[in-house]
A = this chain, B = another copy of it.
């Protein structure tokens, strides 16, 4: 798929400037110039460039889901095990690490499902999605202090019921499920 018509409309980023930073979360200012010559500014968040999310499936076909307290939202959300890709780490290494740390599950194999930018209008972060086949609990999880959740195995029907309620959802769940569906894995 070519984007020939849009290529000629793209601006140049002449400068990016750090406006504020706290604990790895940044606000940046981008200074852009249209091909027409007109200049404008754009404000964006910046944090870890990459994250992973894991849709883990047990040998019985159940999915390993978290009910996770996300303090920015003040809610407990239906979510997936996952987190940021560490410096020097590859997404395919982060996926089993995050699954194990958060849930105590290990899997027979990890299948790359796809990747997308969950909130590209204000954050460049890209999330890599993996299906973990043959997932089994092998030990207790070792969450960090700020990671507060309950892990449980759910059928796809239970997940759908919850999605149809349209309350307290992490959007990574639906993206992972759609990627799984179209890959037919």
Pick the contact of A149: B6, B79, B124, B149 (CB < 8 A). Answer: B6
Q: Is A15 an interface residue (CB 8 A)?
A: no
- Oligomer copy total: 2
Q: Is the CB of A32 within 8 A of B71?
A: yes
A29 proximity list for chain B (CB < 8 A): 22
Take A3-B150, A175-B178 as given contacts and tell me if A169 and B116 are in contact as well, using a CB distance cutoff of 8 Å: yes
A123 proximity list for chain B (CB < 8 A): 45, 72, 119, 122-123
A116 proximity list for chain B (CB < 8 A): 169-171, 173-174
Interface size on A, residues (CB 8 A): 79
Q: Is the CB of A42 within 8 A of B146?
A: yes
Q: Is the CB of B117 within 8 A of A148?
A: no
Shortest CB-to-CB span from A47 to chain B, Å, is 6
Known: A34-B145, A40-B146; 8 extra A-B contacts, CB below 8 A, are A6-B67, A25-B44, A70-B124, A72-B124, A73-B120, A73-B126, A120-B170, A171-B172
A interface list, Cβ under 8 A from B: 1, 3, 5-6, 9-11, 13, 19-20, 22-25, 27, 29-30, 32, 34, 38, 40-47, 67, 69-77, 79, 83, 112, 114-127, 145-146, 148-150, 160, 162-164, 166-167, 169-175, 177-179, 181-183
